[in-house]
Chain A
Amino acid sequence: MQLENSFTVPVPVDEAWRVLLDIERIAPCMPGAALDSVTGDDFTGRVKVKLGPINLTYQGKASFVEKDEAAHRAVIDARGKDQRGNGTAAATITAKLLGEGSTTRVDVLTDLNITGRPAQFGRGVMTDVGNKLLGQFADKLAAQLGEGDAQGDAERASVAAGAAATATGVAEEVAQSVEQTPGDNAVAETVRKAGTAAREKAAAASDRLSDTGSGTGSDAAPSPTDTAEIAAVGATDTVSIAAVGAPDAASPASDAAPSGSDTAPVAAVGRAPSAPPSGPTAPPRRPATGAPPRSTPAGPPASTPASTPASTPASTPAVADTVRDRPLADPEPIDLLEVAGSAALTRYAGPATAAAAVLLLVVLAFRRRRR
């Protein structure tokens, strides 16, 4: 994820450049940061993040990978690991200085990659936390440089911090329901199995489809192999998450679902504000499946036409659809904000399993009769 911040320090650009490259001088300005060692352009240190009951300490290394004095541009590469094994954080920080007479404007672009549990907080929170930290950093730096008129983003950041609330709430609801619904694992297991089956069917179907090549939506349908793989990962991950989500947890999807169980998951995705990640690592918006490839859904209501493909047996859609749509909901790091939305999935896990069971019975009965 990318974070953009800027702040102003009350010194001319050349002096600001000198100060900002002096790691030992600026590190103490970073809230929660402590420098352990400095060797040339490399340094090690710790950053402690504290937010209410949340408490994380990242320990790591950073180094200047670029120092362009003429352009007043510096690039720092940093990577750290949470002390308690909660995950890793890696960042490429590009700082550009722009002289504005007696002051200097500093534009900071942070390309942040966080894995593990903190990533579950989703972009909203991370952005807020990032902005807040940088705002405080700018204020302290400005104070250190003399007058305290740095226009850090602190205010705006603190104002924006609200989003995290939901995340915590969700964390609670999720954690709670794990405890409260012991039966979920069995359901998850069943659904997962159903998912695997459906996925295989879907992959096969998409093979067929891409062979016939159905004009319009070809770019929305990734190559069959891709799909199969992504669906495989996604299905397992997400189904188990769905089982975790409390049935009664905040589920905005529920009233957005206009028609039956198979629509809800997609609606949940469409609503996620922290738009599903795009870029090289992002999974395709819609894995090709038994459904005819459609162009990327524009919005929640449009995303799932109630009619389902003729290419799959009439009674399968319930299962196939539910499972198929799940990978969409959660790209690899589980985003708690999205889990909140897809909590509705839990509700459909039951019906989906039931539908699968009924289908199985029908098939068996049918076979017997034929024999």
Chain B
Amino acid sequence: MIPAAFEYVRPTTVDEAVQAVAEGGEDVKVMAGGQSLIPVMRLRLAAPSTVVDLGRVAEMRGVRDEGDVLVIGAMTTHAEVIADPLVAQHARLIAEATETVADRQTRRRGTFGGALAHADPAGDLPAVALALDAEMVVAGPGGRRTVPARDFFVDYLTTTLDEGEVLVEIRVPKLAGQWGVRYEKFNRVAQAWSIVAVAAAVRRENGSIAEARIGLTNMGPTPLRASATEAALAGAGASPDAIAAAARSAAEGTSPSSDLNAQADYREHLAQVLTRRAVTAAAGL
């Protein structure tokens, strides 16, 4: 359980970080909170020759308001996200989901950006980023680019981040209008990973549902949107029956895995139930 020897670099700016990654050779790894990386290194499933620790890159930390968009630094820890007043005001869904992540200790170290870059299908934050149509700002040797969440998650533990690229910040559009949100997570033990979870944001207008955005956690190798349910809810009456009917198609187009925690068909069932609950709560019913 002792990691292999590695070089350690601790840059203080994004540019330095990108440069350190470029100079680190083939086996370089970026480290954020280390809550996922260190265990893998300790099991020696990864043995990077160089670890670039982003812990001192101040510009990657914190939340700022840019008008219609909330910008969350990749190195902002889960604990900071939960406590942040801007997040509470404009992106409450993120705070709500982050509260369910791991335990207090892990939340003090683990970061928002790290959780997204790690792209664990059971991770809670990717589905939320997807539901909120967030955008990832990525820095590499060739400069910066912005990737929408729907293109960012490619596969199990895989994102569009190239080797040599660093996730700098996440741009989250503020929800304009009368939105309600809810993160419904199903796990057997408090603080455990999601077996299935549903992130819902619902906009109400004149007693009916004008728009719903639903992100699914752990229903496939990447986070997914429950598009069929979203379509069924658009313009539907904000009634329990309408929501229940729409939630029945929540698992459409998903490809959940079967594992120790749940068989695929059970996950599909969970997706429907949790979607109904999340949308109901988000719609204020």
Contacts and interface: CB of A to CB of B under 8 A. Distances in A.
A246 to B, nearest CB: 9
Contacts, number: 144
B160 interface: no
B113 interface: no
A84 B260 contact: no
B137 interface: no
Contact of B36 (A51, A53, A272): A53
B contact patch SS: loop
A248 B40 contact: no
B83 interface: no
The listed residue with most A CB atoms (<10 A of its CB), out of B1, B120, B121, B189, is: B189
B12 interface: no
Interface stretch (A219-227, A335-343, A352-360): A335-343
Contacts of B122: 165-166, 169
A158 B39 contact: no
A254 B188 CA distance: 8
Contacts of B43: 117, 120, 171, 175
Contact of B42 (A158, A163, A175): A175
A124 B43 CA distance: 19
Contacts of A273: 258-260, 263
Interface in B115-159: 118-123, 155-158
A120 B44 CA distance: 12
A84 B47 CA distance: 8
A interface, size bucket: 35 or more
A84 B258 CA distance: 31
Interface residues of B, number: 48
B188 A252 contact: yes
Given A52-B156, A118-B45, 13 more contacts: A55-B46, A85-B44, A158-B221, A162-B221, A163-B259, A165-B123, A165-B156, A166-B259, A169-B193, A171-B45, A172-B35, A180-B105, A249-B189
Interface of B: 1, 4, 27, 29, 35-40, 42-48, 103, 105-106, 118-123, 155-158, 187-193, 218, 220-221, 255-261, 263
26 contacts: A53-B37, A53-B118, A54-B40, A54-B45, A55-B27, A55-B46, A84-B4, A160-B257, A161-B155, A161-B156, A162-B218, A162-B255, A163-B259, A164-B156, A165-B121, A165-B123, A165-B218, A166-B122, A166-B259, A168-B40, A171-B40, A172-B36, A249-B192, A250-B261, A255-B188, A337-B259
